[in-house]
Amino acid sequence: MLKEKIEQLSKAYFESYRSVRHHLHAHPELSYKEFNTSTFIQQHLNELNIPYQVMAETGVVALVEGKKSDRVIALRADIDALPIQEENNIPYASTVPGVMHACGHDVHTSILLGAAKILNETRGDWEGTVKLIFQPGEEKNPGGASIMIKEGVLENPAPRAIVGLHVHPILETGKLSFIAGKSMASADEIYITVKGKGGHAATPHLTADTVLTASELVVALQQVVSRDRNPFSPSVLSICAINGGFTTNVIPSEVKLMGTFRAMDEKWRFDAHKRIQEVVDGVAKSTGAEIELKIDVGYPTVYNDPVITERARSIASETFGTSNVEEGELRMGAEDFGYYSQKIAGCFFRLGTGNKKKNIISGVHTPTFDIDEDAIEIGMRMMATLGATL
């Protein structure tokens, strides 16, 4: 009866939370600046009579109490947007120049608010406490999850498990996907500055050629992944920007490089950091340039607890049918949900939001990203069911 009631409420409140999504999508805010978004969430929780507290300045943590029990489950949604100019011609397009909900966090927030309403109305039918985490700053280091954990989001009460979802435009609406164990990579930012005596391009022997040194670095660093890494351990090292020089006949005194390093294994991740430093030192010695390396340590790997994930997968199959539940894939993208899953049992799953017939096919982090909004009802139903029964 509980699952049937959740299904009925999800359908009944779908239009309301589609409207919530439209509001959030039209008013996006960047990481750690989600002040209006946070206020909107708080106002909505006040209307539902759900108690909450503010954490990490713009984060909101609410509690829905069911029948008395020690069981505590956390449900998480991220609330920040991206610095992207929206190109969609839709009534609810972003009204903020250069800022867009291009990763679906407006969807995540709307779904969790909808689940909050459903859980609140059914609290006499399930046991324990559901902790609702509306988290800022997922898109930018150090990650809002790390800040909220430091401020005690996983305490008082301490959840035994945490669940999060993410929109997935590659997956058709109506489907969900789960993967146990390692599911997403760690992500570290690489910043390199090459310094040397500049000079006339016609007399390179009187310089320490920073452009040549930078070029050697780009090639040499690939050996970290191609030769030092266990080939059965996925890893990526990409240098994505080179900036230096200003004309055709001057060797510059400084060149800057930026890139990313990703791994699925935490031990290899930090071993690789040491190896990157060794490569940088070796190139510096061979070229006579001075090279400064900074590795900004970012999000850890996302690890899905096998027991919790299998339970969540089973609930999804019972709720939506086995044919609508798929096996997920390893992804080299990163998510600060990894901070939670390193601390307690976690399950981070994918919610299908694509629809080829409606031409809803754009990927996340693109200016034309959008979703088939039927997915909102599915997400509300799934998150509420997990909160009540996981």
Question: How many whole angstroms separate alpha carbon 67 and alpha carbon 127?
Answer: 4
31, two tokens: 């990481």
CATH of the domain at 252: 3.30.70.360
pLDDT mean across residues, the chain: 97
In this prediction, residues 219-240 reach a mean pLDDT of 95
pLDDT at residue number 259: 97
Of 279, 296, 313, which closes a domain?
Answer: 296
Residue 297 CA to residue 263 CA, distance in Å, equals 12
Q: Give the percent of the chain with pLDDT over 70.
A: 100
pLDDT tens for each residue of 16-55: 999 999 999 999 999 999 999 999 999 999 999 999 999 9
Tell me the pLDDT band of 195, cut-offs 50, 70 and 90.
very high
Both 20 and 156 in one domain: the answer is: yes
Q: Return the residue matching tokens 């307690």.
A: 344
Using an 8 Å Cβ cutoff, are 186 and 269 in contact? yes
Residues 372, 268 within the same domain? no
Check whether residue 347 and residue 311 sit in a common domain: yes
Residue type at 99?
A: V
Is 359 exposed, middle or buried (CB count within 10 Å of its CB: 0-12, 13-18, 19+)?
Answer: exposed
Q: Are 266 and 195 in a shared domain?
A: yes
- Give which of 37, 270, 26, 258 is closest to 137, Cα–Cα: 37
In the numeric block, which tokens belong to residue 372?
A: 């088939």
Residues 167 and 213 in one domain: no
Are 226 and 152 in a shared domain? no
The residue among 243, 265, 296 that closes a domain is: 296
> Phi/psi class of residue 302: alpha, beta or left (left: φ > 0; alpha: ψ in -120 to 50)?
beta
Together in a domain, 105 and 221: no
For residue 180 the two structure tokens come to: 């146990």
* C-alpha to C-alpha distances, 255 to 142, 238, 243, 250, 260, nearest whole angstrom: 26, 17, 6, 13, 17
- Are 180 and 307 contained in the same domain? yes
Cis peptide before 306 (omega within 30 of 0): no
Average pLDDT over residues 290-309: 97
Specify the number of domains making up the chain: 2
Range of the domain at 13: 2-185+301-389
* Domain identity same for 190 and 270: yes
- Of 256, 273, 296, which one is at a domain's C-terminal end? 296
C-alpha R_g of the chain: 24
Query: Is the domain of 177 the same as that of 190?
Result: no
Write down the residue that tokens 């990409």 correspond to: 238
- The identity of residue 86, as a single letter, is E
Contacts for 79 with CB less than 8 Å, ≥ 6 apart = 34, 37, 38, 41, 58, 59, 105, 108, 109, 134, 135, 136
> Do residues 335 and 257 share a domain?
no
Handedness of CA 93, 99, 102, 106 (dihedral sign): negative
Q: Give me the percent of the chain exceeding a pLDDT of 90.
A: 100
Buried residues in 121-159 as b, exposed as e (16+ CB within 10 A)? bbbeebebbbbbbbbbbbbbeebbbbbbbebebbeeeeb
* Residues 211-239, mean pLDDT to the nearest whole number: 96
Active-site annotation, residues? 80, 138
148, amino acid identity: M
Q: How far apart are CA 334 and CA 354, in angstroms?
A: 21
Q: What was the pLDDT predicted at 9?
A: 98
Neighbouring residues of 171: CB distance < 8 A, sequence distance ≥ 6: 177, 326, 350, 351, 352, 353, 354
pLDDT at 63: 98
Quickly state the pLDDT bin for 380 (edges 50, 70, 90): very high
Q: Residue 106 maps to which CATH number?
A: 3.40.630.10
Q: What is the pLDDT of residue 221?
A: 97
Whole-number pLDDT of residue 189 = 96
pLDDT digits (tens, 9 = 90+) for 340-373: 999 999 999 999 999 999 999 999 999 999 999 9
What are the φ/ψ torsions at residue 373 (nearest 5 degrees)?
Answer: -70, -10
Q: How many residues does the chain have?
A: 390
Cα torsion 360, 365, 366, 367 to 10°: value is 100
Tell me, yes or no, whether 227 and 288 share the same domain.
yes
